[in-house]
Amino acid sequence: MLYRTVRSLAFCSLVLAGLGCEKESEAIVSIALHPTNANILYVATNDAVYKSRDAGATWERFPGFSARRVTTVAIDPQLPATVYAGTMGDAVYKSPDGGQHWLPHNVGLKEHVSYVNQFVFHPIESEKIYAATTVGAYYTKDGGREWEERMAGMKEVHIVVSVAINHIDPKVLYAGTTGGIYRSDDAAASWKKINNGLIPEAELMAAMALGVNVIALDPLDPDRVYAGTTKGLFRTSNKGEVWERIGHTIPESFVSSIAIHPAQPHLLYIGGPGGVWKSTDGGARWQAVNTGLATLNIRALAMGPRNPQELYAGTNGSGLYHSTDGGEHWTPMPLKAARPVS
């Protein structure tokens, strides 16, 4: 039951107990959408990174990773031809040319990191990147050429599963860990625990009792933060000083992903082993939006940066799905048409 909050292990070992991990291209672990070109998107499966240049009609598969498993993929928001891939066992790869070539960018990481969970970019200086890993939070100021550990104040935990940055004040960051949530007010130079309302300290000390899988900030009011955990969905309106549990009507408490409308933040979606759920009132009420999904085990959600009605859902059993109507209907987007890159 340890390491429940590490996404791949959580879904393969716990949530899907008895079902087993899926074959290549059936488990979508990460989705990255181009910030300005809706035709370009990347997805990571356990085994590879795929790219589409035509809105998902056809795909390229990028081989050559020496890692056993790809765990996350992210696009540089300022230089979208630059793509980063996190792996299990081989740290970070970077492509400067839209995926055609990949090089390891592991100085400071390789000796330590076994699993990269997430990348988060500074909103203005995108060469500054934070990485959530199984051995803590790391930071690079030069696009991954060199990484340094940023764990001051996180003495109780090592596994960092998620990171989020305040896009208005990027000195403020949040880290979701196997020991709850931490906030930094000094660009990750130091962290403080902010678990008030998440879980009592006595319970937290019991074998990773709460893991924080995903953190998302309200795009208009970044002091309002949502946290998807192994034990439900939480919200704060004061930068994490006090949290409250929301979404009590959602039957599955494990939350793997959150997507928030950029201009109407009262409209948000969550995903998990119980499918996709939608709220139109800031999380007070929820409805399931799973029509067309063959598998409800959701590992990743992504919202179109230019069209928030467009959603992508990565499942752990039946691949990638696409919605053009805010999740009301989903259609499969198979990767089987992928063609190898020479």
Q: What gap in Å lies between CA 221 and CA 167, rounded to an integer? A: 10
- Say which DSSP state 23 is in: P
Neighbours of 322 (CB within 10 A): 18
Say if residues 273 and 227 touch (Cβ distance below 8 Å). Answer: no
pLDDT at residue 307 is higher than 90: yes
pLDDT at 10: 40
> DSSP H helical segments within 101-230, as ranges?
201-204
Let me know if 207 is exposed, middle or buried by CB neighbors in 10 A (0-12, 13-18, 19+). exposed
- Torsional sign, CA 301, 233, 166, 126: negative
What pLDDT, on a 0 to 100 scale, did the predictor assign at position 18? 29
Q: Is the pLDDT of residue 187 over 90?
A: yes
157-184 pLDDT, tens digit each: 779 999 999 999 999 999 999 889 999 9
Going by pLDDT thresholds of 50, 70 and 90, the confidence category of residue 8 is very low
Residue 200 has pLDDT above 80, yes or no: no
What is the distance, to the nearest Å, from the Cα of residue 303 to the centroid of all Cα atoms in its chain? 12
Q: How far apart are CA 83 and CA 222, in angstroms?
A: 26
Tell whether the model's pLDDT for residue 14 goes beyond 50.
no
- For 272, other C-beta atoms within 10 Å of its C-beta total 28
Lowest mean pLDDT across 2-6, 59-63, 88-92 = 2-6
* C-beta separation of 92 from 104 below 8 A: yes
Bigger pLDDT: 157 vs 139: 139
Task: Please report which residue ranges of the chain form alpha helices under DSSP H.
Answer: 7-9, 201-204
Contact, 186 vs 196, CB < 8 A?
A: no
pTM, two decimals, is: 0.89
Mean pLDDT, the chain, whole residue set? 88
Could you give the CA distance from residue 28 to residue 71 in angstroms, rounded to a whole number?
Answer: 9
Q: Which amino acid, one-letter code, is at 303?
A: M
- 19 pLDDT more than 60: no
Give per-residue pLDDT as tens, 53-76: 999 999 999 876 665 688 999 999
Structure tokens at 136: 């803590």
Please provide the size of the chain in residues. 342
Question: What does the pLDDT read at residue 6?
Answer: 40
Distance of CA 88 to the CA centre of its chain: 15
Burial grade of 174 (CB within 10 A; 0-12, 13-18, 19 or more)? buried
Mean pLDDT, residues 251-273 taken together? 96
Beta bridge partners of residue 279, listed in sequence order:
268
